[in-house]
Amino acid sequence: MLSRRSFGVVAGLLGLAACGVNTGREGAGGGTVRHWYHAYGEDGVQDAVRRYAAAYPGARVEVQWNPGDYDSKVLTALQTSAVPDVFEAQVKVDWVRQKQVVPLDDLLGDTRDDFVRALLDSQTVDGKLYGVPQAIDTQVLYYRPSLLEKAGVTPPKAVDELIDAAKRLTAGGVRGLFAGNDGGVGVLTAPLLWSAGLDFLSDDGKAPGFDDPRAATVFGKLRELNETLLLGAPTDWSDPGAFVDGLAAMQWTGLWNLPKITAAHGDDVGVLPFPRLDADGAESVPVGAYSAMVNARSADVEAAKAYVKWLWVDKSDYQTEFATAFGAHLPARKSLAATALRDGPGKEVVGFVTSGGRIASPARWSARANTALSDAVSRIARQGADPAGELRAALDVARDEIARLDR
């Protein structure tokens, strides 16, 4: 009979042995393609992508839905793992340098011209395409026309008008504008740069694009705006909660929230692009897109590429459904865009994207450069630091990072 002590030892050893069994890293053997998505917040997306996967005739496709910090998970997987074979992400120059992803130029064929050019450019490194854009995400300024009218404000066309509108709309328990609990640092940095005719990087990507006194001016405007921003909302900028619940009269958030917002406010919804600073700047909306990419460590790169081609190039009916049926996105292809969002605020947003859509996260703009810039913007806008000095420090880091990419 087992004594209690030896039973404990045996149980302990069994426990240890069990830890070593299921590593879940068998690679794409046996014709199975493993496909990762981040957890979309809109109802129905998960069912849809599982349905697409089941319909693929070329191989068995296993879809994994990844809640939480998906981007970090992808970064870690790409370093050592053969799984996933296919995943959605935005290409990073370092992935290309480390040969962690494979070029996908040969998948597009003559559909290349049908994809929105800026999207393809944003997924291109050293002339090669690494991701097939799945859908366009964009962000806009939502407002309630009735509230603006009551406050005697016209929809703002310039940054100063936006500051003035936010001030006048702040009354009672309602704040003028909500742009995230970090005071707009995360989501407004890019539109503010564009509003002054600047950008993260120069046109050729070889230098920072904000080495200009106007950068200090425009981030000083965010400081003014911060006096009337809603802070400490229960949900963040990417959720329509604050606007739907009437905590803020205007909110900067994703186009994807349009269905929930119109459900709450009916016809009393207006949309605007981010206004320009002055005549030298431009109205803009940021565009970004998760793109389908193939892991270079996949056990069967060709099978993975064939699946990506089938789903994101050939099956245009799925692409349209994916972009437009669950929350509002725009298809990544011009021929499909015509069928989506044909009226109301959605149609206006299509116009904003066409005339003022800008890439929000260029592949050559690194995480370190981005941290340096958003630290600077945060100190300027929220702590009242000297804009010129803060931006000089951010420029140094950005130059350093750009130089590193070409070493």
Partner 1 sequence: MRAIVKRANSRNTLVFWLFVGPFAIGLLLFTYVPITWSAYLSMFDARNTVTPTEFVGLANYIDILTDRAFLDSIGTFTVFAAFIVPTTVVLSLALALLVNQVTWARAFFRSVYFLPFACSYVVASLVWKMSLFPGVDSGIANTVLGWFGADPEAWIGTVEPPLYWVVLVTARLWLQLGFYMLLFIAALQRIPTHLYEAAWIDGASTGWQSFRHITLPGLRGALVAVLTLNLINAYQAFDEFYNILGDARGYPPFARPPLVYLYYTSLGSGGQDLGRGSAGAVVLALVIALATLLSGRVFRRPT
Residues ≥6 apart with Cβ < 8 Å to 3: none
Q: Which range in 53-61, 73-81, 154-162, 284-292 contacts partner 1 by CB under 8 A?
A: 73-81
Q: Report if residue 12 touches partner 1, rule: CB under 8 A.
A: yes
Nearer of residues 7 and 47 to partner 1, judged by Cβ: 7
Total residues contacting partner 1 by CB under 8 A comes to 47
CB of 202 to partner 1, least distance (A): 20
Q: Which range in 6-14, 42-50, 121-129, 202-210 contacts partner 1 by CB under 8 A?
A: 6-14
343-349 long-range CB contacts below 8 Å, 24 or more apart? 344/262, 345/258, 345/262, 345/269, 345/270, 345/271, 346/255, 346/258, 348/271, 349/138, 349/140, 349/255, 349/258, 349/271, 349/285
Q: Residue from 108, 231, 264, 325 that binds partner 1 (CB under 8 A)?
A: 231
CB of 331 to partner 1, least distance (A): 26
Q: Report if residue 181 touches partner 1, rule: CB under 8 A.
A: yes
Q: Report if residue 382 touches partner 1, rule: CB under 8 A.
A: yes
Cβ pair 84, 325 in contact under 8 A: no
CB of 308 to partner 1, least distance (A): 22
Binding to partner 1 in span 383-402, by CB under 8 A = 383-384, 393
Q: Render the burial of 308-334: b for 16+ CB within 10 Å, e for the rest.
A: bbbbbbebbebbbbbbbebbbbbbbbe
Length of the chain: 407
Q: Report if residue 75 touches partner 1, rule: CB under 8 A.
A: yes
Q: Is 166 exposed, middle or buried (0-12, 13-18, 19+ CB in 10 A)?
A: buried
Q: Which range in 119-127, 201-209, 266-274, 361-369 contacts partner 1 by CB under 8 A?
A: 361-369
CB of 93 to partner 1, least distance (A): 9
Structure tokens at 374: 């958003």
Q: How far apart are CA 386 and CA 389, in angstroms?
A: 6
Cβ pair 248, 242 in contact under 8 A: yes
Structure tokens at 112: 């290349």
Instruction: Tell me the three state secondary structure of residue 302.
Output: helix
Nearer of residues 245 and 302 to partner 1, judged by Cβ: 245
Q: Residue from 26, 69, 126, 280 that binds partner 1 (CB under 8 A)?
A: 69
Q: Residue from 84, 131, 176, 183 that binds partner 1 (CB under 8 A)?
A: 183
Q: Residue from 61, 63, 78, 216 that binds partner 1 (CB under 8 A)?
A: 78
Q: Residue from 247, 272, 289, 293 that binds partner 1 (CB under 8 A)?
A: 247
**Angle between helical axes of 213-225 and 185-195 (0-180°, round to 10):** 130
Q: Report if residue 9 touches partner 1, rule: CB under 8 A.
A: yes
Classify 95 in phi/psi space as left (phi over 0), alpha (psi -120 to 50) or beta.
alpha
- Contact residues for partner 1, defined by CB under 8 A: 9, 12-13, 16, 68-72, 75-76, 78-80, 92, 94-95, 97-98, 100, 173, 181-183, 185-186, 230-234, 236, 247, 366-368, 370-372, 374-375, 378-379, 382-384, 393
